[in-house]
Amino acid sequence: MCYNVVFLEKRAQEYQERYKAVLPDTFKMDNDVELPFYYHVSGFVHPILPIVKHDGIFPYQWGLIPPWCKDIAQAKDMAKLTLNAVGETVFEKPSFRNAIKQQRCLLGIEGFFESRDMNKQKYPYVVKSKVDEIFSLGCIYEEWTDRETREVYKTFSIVTTPANPLMEKIHNLKKRMPLIIPRELEGEWIKPELTKEQIKDLIKPYDENKMEAYTVGKMVNNAKNYRNVPEALERVEYPELN
């Protein structure tokens, strides 16, 4: 699964430039907009991140709230359970089956964290792309309106797939990975008009030969630590893993 990511691009114009091939020509980001900057951020704190939709780039909160939630209490509980959407069942689950049809988006990141279990210990890794400094996770989004306050919550979830061989070694218990959309297919993923079969064809493990990973310090495993620091990305070797 994917609960922790790296987002190091705080210049809005640079982020737009990365996705100009899939954005409408009329879309322009405000030069004064500053994006969040995270060496490490957990989905469980529900950060607001810039997602790429077919019509532009917009700030959405991580943890999808489906439109049928009755009140804010149910919405907050639901958001804790929807950081990820399992690709094999995304068309069946009530929380996701509406969004997957037409409300698909991309989240550009520099990496994500995942842990390998061995001898009752967790060894954290940072996983990156070999081909793109910023690569895209396939996501879905929703909007929910609080009936009492009329406040609109814009939220998203990261779709996941079975692990490829590299991720099977790292995420070696559940053997899952986030859906990574190849650069040449980013525009396809966010098209609202895709058929169910076309969407399913895009939900598959990413090529392991285009990925790389290395171990980092165990401080990133503990949510009590302040993990949004450069040290979160520093390489740490564990001889016992060899």
Q: Is 97:64 a contact under the CB 8 Å cutoff?
A: no
Bridge partners of 84?
A: 158
Is residue 233 one of the residues assigned to a domain?
A: no
Is residue 127 one of the residues assigned to a domain?
A: no
| Whole-number Å distance between alpha carbons of 95 and 81 | 10
The tally of domains found in the chain comes to: 1
Q: What is the pLDDT of residue 32?
A: 75
Is residue 196 one of the residues assigned to a domain?
A: yes
| Whole-number Å distance between alpha carbons of 221 and 87 | 25
Residue 169 backbone phi and psi in degrees, to 5: -75, -35
Residue bearing tokens 């564990």: 238
| Whole-number Å distance between alpha carbons of 131 and 212 | 10
Task: Give the DSSP per-residue string, 57-97.
Answer: EEEEEES---TT--SHHHHHHHHHH-SEEETTTTTTSTTTT
Is residue 229 one of the residues assigned to a domain?
A: no
Is residue 126 one of the residues assigned to a domain?
A: no
CATH number of the domain that 10 lies in? 3.90.1680.10
* Phi-psi group of 170: left, alpha or beta (phi > 0 → left; psi -120 to 50 → alpha; rest → beta): alpha
* Phi-psi group of 181: left, alpha or beta (phi > 0 → left; psi -120 to 50 → alpha; rest → beta): beta
Q: What is the pLDDT of residue 3?
A: 96
Is residue 74 one of the residues assigned to a domain?
A: yes
pTM (predicted TM-score): 0.97
Q: Is 65:142 a contact under the CB 8 Å cutoff?
A: yes
Q: Which domain holds residue 170?
A: 4-114+133-209
Question: DSSP label at 68?
Answer: T
80's enclosing H/E stretch is helix 72-81
Q: What is the pLDDT of residue 31?
A: 72
Is residue 13 one of the residues assigned to a domain?
A: yes
Q: What is the pLDDT of residue 40?
A: 98
Residue bearing tokens 């809005």: 12
Spans of the chain, pLDDT less than 70: none
Q: Is 147:12 a contact under the CB 8 Å cutoff?
A: no
Q: What is the pLDDT of residue 30?
A: 77
